[in-house]
Amino acid sequence: MGGDEESPGADETSSTGGYPIDGTALVKTAALASVPAERLPALLARVQADLGPRVDDYRRRYERIATEPDRETFLVEPDHWEGVGDRLGLSDRERAAVARAHETAVERSGSGQTSREEFETALEIRSGVVIGTDGGERDGK
């Protein structure tokens, strides 16, 4: 399974790898991103290190559309990734790759409780963010 993709370790990548983007979303992002596939894991881990401590702020400010034991998914303003990129000093290509990875992960989250069409429509007017959590701290509201 997945032997055709050229992303090292993509089948094993999850929030345990330092970021909440699964292997399938990572492989899809690597195929479309303008940054080398081998740089994506470190880039996503860097972004997770920035976003993780801010999860309570995201819970207060944004619509949470999915909650899983190890991650939460939010819809944010369209220019959200510009602010994150500025804060972390990301290049335009890095920022675009991170945004694409998160958007792909959001679309994949939608395959369960909400129809994929609804998530794709929401992503036309907003951006998606997936933030890894410690697992136990899920606020049901």
* 122 pLDDT more than 70: no
139 within a domain of the structure (yes/no): no
| pLDDT tier at 72, thresholds 50, 70, 90 | very high
Q: Note whether residue 138 is domain-resident.
A: no
**How far is Cα 56 from Cα 40, in angstroms, rounded to an integer?**
25
pTM of the model: 0.75
In a domain, 137, yes or no: no
The domain total for the chain is: 1
Distance between alpha carbon 75 and the CA centroid of its chain, in Å?
11
* pLDDT tens figures, 31-51: 777 788 889 999 999 999 999
Measured distance CA(47)–CA(100) in Å, rounded = 13
* pLDDT at residue 126, as a whole number: 87
pLDDT given for residue 130 in this prediction? 95
pLDDT tier for residue 25 given thresholds of 50, 70 and 90: confident
pLDDT score for 53: 97
- Name the residue type at position 47: V
- Are 82 and 107 in contact by the 8 Å Cβ rule? The answer is no
pLDDT over threshold 60, residue 132: yes
Regarding predicted confidence, which is higher, 1 or 129?
129
The average confidence (pLDDT) of the chain is: 78
Residue 1 lies in a domain: no
Answer yes or no: is 10 within a domain: no
Domain presence at residue 8: no
Give the domain range for residue 59: 15-132
